[in-house]
Structure 1
Amino acid sequence: MNSLLTALITKRIVATVSALLVVAIGCGAGIWQLGRAETKMALAANLQARQQMPILNANKGPWSLEEARERRMIARGQYIPEAAIWLDNRPRPIPPVGSNNAQSGFYLMMPLKLEGGGEVLWVNRGWAPRNNENRETLPPVQTSNTVVSVEGIVFAHPGKVYELGGGKNAVEKDKPRIEQNFDLATESKLHSWAQAPFILREVEVGSDDGLLREWPPLTSGVDRHYAYAFQWFALAFAGFVFWLVTGLRQYKRQGFANGDQG
C-alpha cells in the first residue's frame, strides 16, 4: 500500500498538484452555481410572498421603496408621453416558442402623473421590438390621453445593461429619448418634479397598445445553474479519475520493470 501511495503521490508531485487544482476549481465552481440557484429560488419565494400581500394604491401614498418594493400596486393618473424614455438593447422578455434567438428591442419608460396630487410615478409599460433598418425609428405604441388605471409590480429600477462611457449628452426633457439605462434621480433633477422613489412594472391586463408584458419569472435560469454545476462537478471527477488511472498505469509499468509480475 505504501508503495502504491508513493507511486501515486510522492513520485508524481506535479500531476498530483494539478489534479488537486482541477478538483478544487471544479468543486468550488459547482458549489457556487448551486448557491446561485438557491439564491434565485429564495428571491422568487420572497417575491411571491410579497405579492400575496394587500395591493398598494399609489394615489394614497407617498410610499417609500422599502414599503413598496416587489409588491403589487395600482395607480391612477395620466401619462406624459412627451417625456418617455426608450431603453435600448433589451431582449424580448420571453422569446417565442421554438426560437433560440433573443430579439432585441426597447423597454418603454413613461411617467404617469398621479390623479389627485402632483407626484409622478415612472411606469415600465412593456417591451417593443426594434426597427432593424433604422434604430432611431421608435415602435408604434398607443397611449391614452385620458386618465388610466395601471397595475404592476414595484421595483427599484427596470434593470441595467452595460454602457460604454459615463458621460451623458444634453437631452431635451420634452421629447422622447433613447437611452441605455434609466436613473430616477437624474430624471427628477431634469424635470424638477416630485416623483415616487421606485418604478412600476406594468403587468398584462389585456390592453392592446403594441407592447408586450410577458415578464419572465425570477426563477428563470435556475435550470441553467444546475446544468453548469453538473458540468463543473463532472470536470472535477474527470480530473481525479485521470490522475488515478494514469498513476495506476505508471505503478503497473514500474512493477513489470522491477520483475513483479505476480
Structure 2
Amino acid sequence: MKPGNSLLQSLVAKRIVATVSALLVIALGCGAGFWQLSRANTKIALAANLLARQQMPILNANLGSWTLEEASERRMIARGQYLPEAAIWLDNRPKPISGSSNATQSGFYLMMPLRLENRDEVLWINRGWAPRNNENRETLPPIKTPVGIISVEGIVFAHPGKVYELGDGKTIDSLGKPKIEQNFNLAAEGSMRGWNQAPFILREEDTGVDDGLLRSWAPLTNGVDRHYAYAFQWFALAVCGFLFWLITGFRQYWRQGHVNRV
C-alpha cells in the first residue's frame, strides 16, 4: 500500500467520528465568522447611506406632508409647540458610561409630540436621553420643556429603536398622564388621540440646549469592532478544530507506523 493512501486512511477512514466532528466545528466556526463579518459590513453600509442622505438638502416639516420614503434618514427642521402632557418615556435605553468599555447607565428616551405651526399635523420628537432614578424607578428625570413656538432640527427615522418587550405592548395609561413604555407605537398614538401625524419621528440633534437631556447619539457603526473580534474568535475556533484533528491524526499514524516497524 502506498504511504499516501495509508496516511489518508489513518486521518480519515479510520477516524470517521473525529473527522465528522472536526468538519462540524469548522463549518460552525466559519459560518459564524462570516455572519459576524456580514453584520459589520451591513452596519458600515447603513452608516455610509445615512451620511449620504444627510448631505441632501434639509427638509422643512412645515412646508408639506412628507412620506417616510421621502424623509427617512434625512435632516429636517420643524417649527411648532411641544405638547408635554402627551410625553412618553421609553424605558430600558442604556447609555455607555464615559471611560468604560462595557459599563452602561440605565435611562429613558423622551418622546414628545410637536404640533406644527400653521399645520394641522403633529410630529413626534425624540428629544434625547435622560438617566433613570435607580432608587425610585417611578420618578421621572427633571427636564425642561420650552414654552411657545420653537424650532427643532434633527434626523428623520421610522421609529426611535425597539427593545424586547413582554406582553402585547398595548397602551393602557390614561390620557394626559406621562407614560413609561418599552416601545413607541406611532400609529397607535395617532389613533388613540385622533391626531393627524407625520409618518415618522424626528431625532433631535444636539444644539447646545441645556434642558437636562443628552443627545450624543451612538453612530450606526457602533459595535463594528466587536463584530470583527467575534469573527476572529469564530475563525480561530475553526482553525483550532482543524489543527486538533490533523495533529491527533498524525500522532495516530506515527504510532501505528512505529508499532508496525517493531
Superposition pairs of residues 177-188 of structure 1, within 5 angstroms: 177-188=179-190
Q: Within 2, Cα distance between the matches of 1:169 and 1:128?
A: 22
Check the 8 A contact 2:113/2:125 in 1, yes or no. Answer: yes
Q: Residue in 2 aligned with 1:80?
A: 83
Deviation at 1:153, TM superposition (A): 0.4
> TM-score, with normalisation over the residues of structure 2?
0.97
**Shift of residue 100 of structure 1?**
3.0
User: Using the alignment, how far apart are the partners of 1:131 and 1:170 within structure 2?
Assistant: 23
Confirm whether residue 128 of structure 1 aligns to residue 130 of structure 2: yes
Q: Return the letter of the residue paired with 2:144.
A: Q
Match of 1:218 among 201, 214, 220: 220
Rounded to whole Å, the distance in 1 between the matches of 2:88 and 2:200 is 15
Distance in structure 2 (CA, Å) of the matches to 1:9 and 1:67: 59
2:104 maps to amino acid = A
Cα 1:163–1:18, aligned 2, differ >3 Å: closer, same or farther? same
- Assess, with a 3 A threshold, how the Cα gap between structure 1 residues 188 and 169 changes in structure 2: closer, same or farther: closer
- Aligned 8 A contact 2:58 2:74 in 1: yes
Tell me the equivalent position of 1:176. Answer: 178
1:124-203 correspondence runs (5 A): 124-166=126-168, 168=170, 170-203=172-205
The match for 2:39 among 36, 45, 63 is 36
Q: CA deviation at 1:98?
A: 3.3
Fraction of identical pairs, as percent: 73
Q: Displacement, 1:36?
A: 0.8
Equivalent residue letter for 1:7? S
Shift of 1:95: 2.8
Please report how far the alpha carbon of residue 23 of structure 1 lies from its aligned counterpart in structure 2 after TM superposition. 0.6
Task: Note the C-alpha offset of 1:118.
Answer: 1.4
CA deviations on 1:158-205 (whole Å, 9 max, x unpaired) are 011111111535221212111111001100011101010000000000
Q: Deviations over 1:69-90 (max 9, x none)?
A: 0000000000000000000111
Unpaired segments ≥5 residues, structure 2: none
Q: 1:117 aligns with which of 100, 116, 119?
A: 119
Q: Distance in 2 between matches of 1:66 and 1:194?
A: 18
Q: In 1, are the aligned partners of 2:169 and 2:183 still within 8 Å (CA)? A: no
Once residues 97 and 157 of structure 2 are traced to their aligned partners in structure 1, the CA distance between those partners, rounded to angstroms, is 22
RMSD: 1.0
Moved over 6 A (4+): none
Q: Return the offset for 1:121.
A: 0.2
Deviation for aligned residue 1:221: 0.6
Q: Specify which of 239, 249, 252 is matched with residue 237 of structure 1.
A: 239
SS, match of residue 261 in structure 2: coil
Q: Which residue of 2 aligns with 1:52?
A: 55
The DSSP-based 3-state class of the residue aligned with 1:181 is coil
For 1:136 and 1:20, the matched residues in 2 are separated by 53
The reply to whether residue 258 of structure 1 matches residue 251 of structure 2 is no
For 2:186 and 2:170, the matched residues in 1 are separated by: 15
Q: Which amino acid aligns with 2:252?
A: Q
Query: For the residues of structure 1 that align with 2:57 and 2:110, how far apart are their CA atoms?
Result: 27
